[in-house]
Each structure stands twice: as C-alpha cells, then as structure tokens.
Amino acid sequence: MSERNPHSPEHIAIIMDGNGRWAREKGLPRRDGHRAGAESVREVVETCKELKIKFLTLFAFSSENWSRPRTEVQALMALLREFLKKKIPEMSKQGVRLHAIGRLHDLPEDCQEALNSAIAETSSNTALDLILALSYGAREEIVDAARQIACEAAAGHLDPESIDSNSIATRLYTAGIPDPDLLIRTSGECRISNFLLWQISYAEIVITDKFWPDFKAADLRQAIDEYARRNRRFGAI
C-alpha cells in the first residue's frame, strides 16, 4: 500500500460554495445544484482516500443557513438524509469514518438519528476521517468552548490561571482532530464565512472560481499541488 506524499496535507477543509449559482446559470432549481454538489462530495472523498489524505472536513450546512427559505432548508435536510442513507454505506466499504461537528441538536430529529447511525456504522474504519460541519458556526463553537471552560472554573474544576490555547482547543467540536493544513473555497469568494476560525490559523488557503458542483478530482489535485509548492514558515524566517 502506498504512503501519503509527505508534501501533501494531512487535513483538508473545504467551503463548498456555489451550488445555487451553478443551478441558476443552468436555469435549474437550487435543489438541483445541491444534488449535483453531493456528487462532487463523493468524488472528492474518493480522491482523498486515493491520495492518503487522513482528514477531510466539509462545510455542509452553516448555522446561518437556517435563515434560508423554508423550502430550501427542507430540501437540504432531505438531501442530507439521502446522503447518509445511500452514500455513507458506500463510503464505509472504502474505509471512511464519519464524524459531525456543529450544534447538531438543531437538526431535525430524523436527521440526527440518521447521522448517529452512520457515525456508529463507520466508527471502526481507518482509511479517511470525513468530518461534516452541520448547523456549524465557528463563533458559536468558540462560545460553546468558552461556556464549558467558565462552567468548569465556576465549579472549581479548572484553575483560571491554567487556561491556555490548549484548554480552548480541547473543548472545541474538533477536539482530537488535527488542524487543517489546507483550506479550499470554491466559487471565487474570498472570505472564511465563520468556518473553523480557530483551527485554520496557519492553514494554507486556495480559492478557485469553480462552483462546487464543477469541482472534481483534478481540481482537488491541483489545489494540493499548489499547497505543496508553498513554504510554510509558521511565523519563522
């Protein structure tokens, strides 16, 4: 079995943007853009596994997305259930282990049940850790971590003087998962959109003009090649 290229990232995070604009350009309903985007997820997951990438985090549904029209939110939740039912079993056979981060209790109950089932089904896999960010917002994540720290300190279980960056990192939704090395955003937008604000402090960022449904294996490889050409100094010379 081949090893991961040492110049490749261990953890890739992707802001999957542009489904709606992709659909609009083609005269299709927005739900068709989201459905086409699900196929890009499948292809990117398969490519990460092939390239021995260990962690892949996908921004699937933000905490702000709840403000979208009810019909679109319902369509997205239906697509999530379909993805978990149909795609995850296929991915599980390939060794993919599923995680989810975010305020998952805000998801519909049937989505939570499907998500918990998929996580349990894939828990022993080791080829690739796929992390879905659902009902996720980075500011909310940091607030939740701060609240947990405050409660522990108030209860006398944590000395405020001992609080450091690791104290926060270990209370984030991503505790135990290495920070992303590479952040990819599709659709040409040059912003982070409240995604993994703590974790991407030293991530390399690659932005592509392609809409997410058009982002395929070749595009992922190109982003990884660009990452490999960069000199990551982490503040040093």
**Catalytic residue positions?**
17, 65
Q: Pairing state of beta strands 11-15 and 182-185?
A: parallel
- The CA-atom distances, in angstroms, between 237 and each of 22, 111, 204, 233, 234 are 42, 48, 17, 6, 9
C-alpha–C-alpha distance, residues 147 and 137, integer Å: 15
The residues that bridge with 55 in the sheet, in sequence order, are 11, 129
User: Within its chain, how far is the Cα of 138 from the centroid?
Assistant: 12
**Do 134 and 60 contact (CB within 8 A), yes or no?**
yes
